[in-house]
Structure 1
Amino acid sequence: MKIKKEFFLGLMVLVIVVLLIGGIYTFRKIRIRDSLIAQIKELSPRDIPPRTIEDLREAIRLYEELIEQHVRDAAQTGVYWKLLATRLQERGLHHEALNALERAVYYIPEDAYVHYQRGISAGIVAKSSFSAAEGNADAQEYFALSEKSYLRAIELDEGYSRPRYGIGILYVFEMNKPREAIPHLLRYLEISRNDVDAMFVLARAYYMVNNYQDALDIYDRIITTSRDAAKRIEAENNRQTILDSLYG
């Protein structure tokens, strides 16, 4: 008799536990359902839960309009950050410009111009007194950000020439990577054939990798094409320096 009593007592406890679990599950389903109904109700033009297929379609349409508006707002916010960054750069405030450009990248990550501008500001910050005070590791971090930004801009728009010139300067004068600079500068000069400043950078890159003949050819090109007398004289002097080092 005692065993039967214990059995029925255990069975009762089990039933109560099962009922409690079922009740909790049902309560959660009701809460989720009510929450969904409330959200749909907010989107319903008649402020009541949609009861027909047409009502549901209308609620979906309104929701999609809200999404589209959010997308438009986000894109416009990115434009504002980009504009702010440009104004800050014009005033030489490149630390602040970098912060603005980070926000612009967040909103419009596939805008090649934003990445290019970030490459410019990061390179300038790397050479600033702030970076020098923080030590070489800090400067290298900004140079790495500059490189990453230029490369991303090129990846997004291969026909966009300015990032190629920017990374060419970065590789030649700051990161000691002249070999990596050469293809970018060559591509840039295919587009901007008469950019004498870029020719000087390319000639220097050739000189740094001991490709003296190509460096001489670039200096000859500057001498014959530039209308700037000072730049022609500079090219002639650089050309003579190479010849002197080769032939004494």
Structure 2
Amino acid sequence: MKKILFGLVISISLMTLFTGCIKSNKTIIRYQKMEEKVDHPTTIEELKEAIDKYENRVADIQLANQQIAIWYKMLGTRYVDAKMYGEALKCFQKALEFYPNNQNLYYWVGVCAGYMSHAAMDFSGTGSTQVRMNYLKLAEDAYSRAIQIDDRFVRALYGLSVIYVFELDESEKAIPLLEKVMEIETKDFNAMFVLARAYYENYEFDKAVKIYDKIISLTKAADIINAAQDLKKQVLDASY
């Protein structure tokens, strides 16, 4: 009977704790001590037992946090699949609270922030583009952090390059990033097209032409060849 009553007390107390009542750290610690039956250990045996119990608790919390982070990442990717980039961004932000050195999470933040920049609108009618720029800067920062962690992370190198070339009008910053991609992935046609565009915008017409020629030589896909030929002609016309 005593055990049953004790269990009811604990259950009621925990229900109160998790239904909105703010408890102090001292109260939470008291609940933990009651649950683990550890109060004021004094002897060597009692202290060792207390340490073992709390070490197990810490291990349980670590495992739970790992699982929570994984689920946030999974939920985020599901939102990406559904093109719900705002909700996905929130999930990846939460996952980063558990894994702040995970390059893949930063990459996905960059992807979502890039898409959200396209959705940003001036609902107040002030003419400001600040919300859009905030998302673009977030994307730039996220991709950059991913690259800091893994400097051969091709998707992050490419994503940051796209931001520089097509969004921030800073194509000169994209050139070394894309040249690195070319060293790692020698047949990445998407990166080649963006690199040629970056060369073109920086008046390096010969380099742009060489990239288009390389694309044409490496593929048999008619649509890719036609696109490269058309863009090469534009570059040649601009260079005269």
- Structure 2 counterpart of 1:74, from 44, 49, 65: 65
> How many percent of aligned residue pairs carry the same amino acid?
33
Alpha carbons of 1:213 and 1:90: their partners in 2 closer, same or farther (altered >3 Å)?
Answer: same
1:57 aligns with 2:57: no
Query: Which of the two has greater helix per residue?
Result: 1
Alpha carbons of 1:207 and 1:90: their partners in 2 closer, same or farther (altered >3 Å)?
Answer: same
Q: Which sits farther off after the overlay, 89-98 or 103-112? A: 103-112
Q: May I ask how many residue pairs the two structures share in their alignment?
A: 211
State the partner residue of 1:85. 76
What's the CA shift for 1:119? Answer: 0.4
What's the CA shift for 1:61? Answer: 2.1
Any idea what the Cα deviations from partners look like across 1:2-37, whole Å, max 9, x if unmatched?
xxxxxxxxxxxxxxxxxxxxxxxxxxxxxxxx99x9
Q: Residue 79 of structure 2 aligns to which amino acid in structure 1?
A: L
1:151 aligns with 2:153: no
Mapped to 1, the partners of 2:131 and 2:78 lie a distance apart of 25
State the partner residue of 2:224. 231
Q: Residue 81 of structure 1 aligns to which amino acid in structure 2?
A: Y
Any idea what the Cα deviations from partners look like across 1:71-97, whole Å, max 9, x if unmatched?
221121111111111001111111111
1:240 aligns with 2:233: yes
Secondary structure at the aligned position of 1:131 is classed as coil
1:131 aligns with 2:121: yes
State the partner residue of 1:22. none
State the partner residue of 2:9. none
Mapped to 2, the partners of 1:188 and 1:228 lie a distance apart of 21
- Higher radius of gyration, 1 or 2: 1
User: 8 Å contact 1:43–1:62 — kept in the other structure?
Assistant: no
Gap regions ≥5 residues in structure 1:
1-33
- Structure 2 counterpart of 1:184, from 166, 177, 192: 177
- TM-score, normalized by length of structure 2? 0.80
RMSD value over aligned CA atoms? 2.3
